[in-house]
Amino acid sequence: MKFAKRGSAVLEAPEEGYASETNWPNREPAPAGMLQRGRLAADPNENPGSPNYAPTVEEEVYKPRRESMSYRLRLGIPKSLAGKIIFAAIALVGLGAIVIGYLGVRNALFHDDRFVVATASDIQIVGNQRLTRDQVLDIFGADIERNIFRVPLAERRADLERLPWVAHATVMRLLPNGIRVSIIERVPVAFVRQGTQIGFVDAEGVLLDMPQDAAGDPRYSFPVLTGLSADDPLSARAARMEVYKRFMKDLDSSGEHLTQALSEVDLSNPEDVKALIPSGSTDILVHFGDEDFLNRYRLFEQNLPQWKTQYPKLASVDARYEHQFVLEMESGAAVPLASNGAPLPAVPVKPATSTAKPATAAAKPPVAKHPDTPKAAPKAAAKPATKPVAKPAKPKVKPVKHPADKAQSSNQKMFAALAAAHKAAVANAHNGAAAHATGKQVTQ
């Protein structure tokens, strides 16, 4: 050992060995697994540097896990003979109790006088406006003094929906002895003419009888339809009514309610909707085709005053062609061809030259020359690419007219005429079998 300075020393070689471990009192090896379950515990007031400082390991109390115990109830037929017999006896007793209870409840419900429909006043009817209460009660005539649980609700509902005015019906029981009938009626959208008879038709093509109090009702201010027959299948009538709804919707799309000026609509050809439009003291038949109804109506309305001035006997206007109108006169007059642009100038109409064949002359009348139209053969001018055939107006019974300003008075006249015709027909039927043999029908 060398001393470099006084009071200091330097070791020439490191000492072999290490500092001894502190021998803590009461120190013992921890048992296996104790490090995971235990924790050190010491007095916080004791100085760790003091010789009496001895942290101990505090072991948590070990509590074994108890598995949840589940019990399964085993159901089944016992294996022993005695068990099988007991099981069968219990099953039979339970089944018998269920049957007896059901029969007892059924007997109480079906034979108790408290559940009997005593009178017609126990049947409530809601939703019927045009259908009378008597017509509905005719369906439930057999259910008076019958138990409500014996009333076949599905059958009664089907019977109600067979009535023409009923679109949908609901029938339910009201305890103790009532029946409630809810009806949704069909809504007529037009009159329909079939010969001398007139009735209603709804949007689905179902033909309806006209109520006796329909005369003068403001709800029934709509055109008369032709081209619908009861002999046609319902699907065909429904398809034509779709065309009619589209036609009416298109005309009213501008908000001007142009449909109120229509007197009659012909649906006999769904590809050519025809309408009678009142103009003064006459009606003009307008061919609208199957599209662009509103634009064609506006062009017709725009040119009508000039046409009426030039052609006082104007009977029909064909507006199906894009750049022209085909005008048809009364009594086989000539059919002039006109542009649908500005109002037409007065153009003299050539009279028919042939009188030997009036049918041919009417079918192919000469065409008036328009100053703005290049010269063309009369046949080519009168018949465009689609070859429309111009026909003279046929004499017909004057249709019912009820424009917007005279709808109510026109309806009253129509109803009065129909009532008189019906009254005369009934009187003729009661006169005797002779009138029926001749097949004559008195009309007025």
pLDDT digits (tens, 9 = 90+) for 69-81: 555 556 667 788 8
Residues 190, 245 contacting (CB under 8 angstroms): no
Asked if residue 443 is part of any domain, the answer here is: no
Question: pTM for this structure?
Answer: 0.55
Adjacent-strand bridge partners of 59: 38
Nearest partner of 10 among 23, 1, 18, judged by Cα: 1
Adjacent-strand bridge partners of 327: 317
Asked if residue 162 is part of any domain, the answer here is: yes
Q: Which residues contact 14 (CB under 8 A, 6 or more apart)?
A: none
Asked if residue 422 is part of any domain, the answer here is: yes
Burial (0-12, 13-18, 19+ Cβ within 10 Å), 17: exposed
Assess whether pLDDT exceeds 80 at residue 350.
no
Helix (H) or strand (E) holding 88: helix 81-111
| DSSP E strands, 34-165 | 38-41, 56-59, 123-126
Asked if residue 397 is part of any domain, the answer here is: no
Q: What integer is the mean pLDDT of 108-121?
A: 87
Q: Which CATH number goes with the domain that contains 243?
A: 3.40.50.11690
Q: Which residue has the tokens 């662009």?
A: 292
Query: Are 173 and 260 in a shared domain?
Result: no
Query: Are 234 and 265 in a shared domain?
Result: yes
Query: Are 235 and 353 in a shared domain?
Result: yes
Q: Higher pLDDT residue, 349 or 102?
A: 102
Q: Which residues contact 345 (CB under 8 A, 6 or more apart)?
A: 306, 310, 371
Q: Which CATH number goes with the domain that contains 121?
A: 3.10.20.310
How many domains does the structure of the chain reveal? 3
Q: Torsions phi, psi of 45, nearest 5? A: -85, -10
113 in helix, strand or coil?
helix
Query: Are 203 and 266 in a shared domain?
Result: yes
Adjacent-strand bridge partners of 329: 314
Give the Cα separation of 398 and 149 in Å (integer). 57
| DSSP E strands, 37-112 | 38-41, 56-59
Query: Are 231 and 284 in a shared domain?
Result: yes
Give the Cα separation of 328 and 284 in Å (integer). 10
Query: Are 225 and 295 in a shared domain?
Result: yes
Could you tell me the residue range of the domain that residue 162 belongs to?
A: 114-185
Asked if residue 74 is part of any domain, the answer here is: no
Length of the chain: 444
Last residue of a domain, one of 164, 185, 206: 185
Q: Higher pLDDT residue, 43 or 160?
A: 160
Q: What integer is the mean pLDDT of 78-88?
A: 84
Give the Cα separation of 285 and 431 in Å (integer). 41
Asked if residue 78 is part of any domain, the answer here is: no
Asked if residue 88 is part of any domain, the answer here is: no
- pLDDT score of 319: 94
- pLDDT above 70 covers a percentage of the chain that reads 57
Q: Within 13 Å of residue 128, how many CA atoms lie on the same side as its CB?
A: 21
Give the Cα separation of 73 and 270 in Å (integer). 75
